[in-house]
Chains A and B, each alone.
Chain A
């Protein structure tokens, strides 16, 4: 597997920490997923209940890499400030950079994304940009200092899978040495396997596991799918063809008519 800013991950599954029925189910899902990375966020804390402190202890106990996000940020300034705050709280230079451009699709504002990525990279951050499959934007993000790209599969939380396989395949082919993560939109393990079969280095998902009827079981299903897809990609899949080709040899077939 390709390195992520010098870090080798133990699995190609990155898992979000939101929307689980309970902290215990979150922990069980992580354990069964063998995820190597947990995404987290920052929100307003109350001085009375201090909920964030308990959550932080739960995440530390998972023993995985922590990837803070800038979810919900719609401007460069918001995203940069949130990233600065996240770096201090989570003590990591990693940031999953989201600059949202459309409220309905949660599509990234790629112009703001490139600008924020440049500012953060120059400030020492290691940026994981949530982007589209657009090749030109990808180039600009790399120019801005990003060493990882995270194109969406489909809109966040939609569960639609890989909406533009052609575009994603082109992205993979265009940047063979850049670690690429499918971030968002996956709903089923088969879609995660497909992403890995296409040669992506990891998938990042949350809702598909957290909102399943049995999150821990679904986490295990995604773990197996990611591993299967990864093995398939390494095994150099056959090329598809339009016409049938018999797999059983015809030589030596009995003459029975």
Chain B
């Protein structure tokens, strides 16, 4: 007789946890989902809002939104992408409300590069020392920051980023290019005198 192997709740996939939570209304399934993603959501909120107190409130609000909208999750994207898109949009909305004239993207700043400008390779950002990268990213407009985080932290596809921000793929490609150029410009401004230690 073969022994019955029961799966631990922490081994359930996101979809299994959601289906069971919606069927049984048992909070232990939601608790596992929360513990799986709370750290990443909190980190994104701190990076976007640059304020720990606001990031705490935002994390709480975001998970309540997730809970209330769980039945609407259609699995067109992965659960993580869905949670992160709620997170980015929530943070961008908060920044919009906080500042009357928000500069969300580089193009809002006014100094827009042309399509013919040279493309900055990914390695320029990915080879920066972490503390320098942190300072460069802190100076970016929130929209650019969000776009670079989606690309380099969450490994989202251009199409997915477009769905999160409600923009076309070509617009997102252009904004990634501008965000990289702006990062390079900030880096040169901050560390132009000491460029060796990237």
Q: Do A and B come from one complex?
A: no
Question: Which A residues fall within an 8 A CB radius of B?
Answer: none
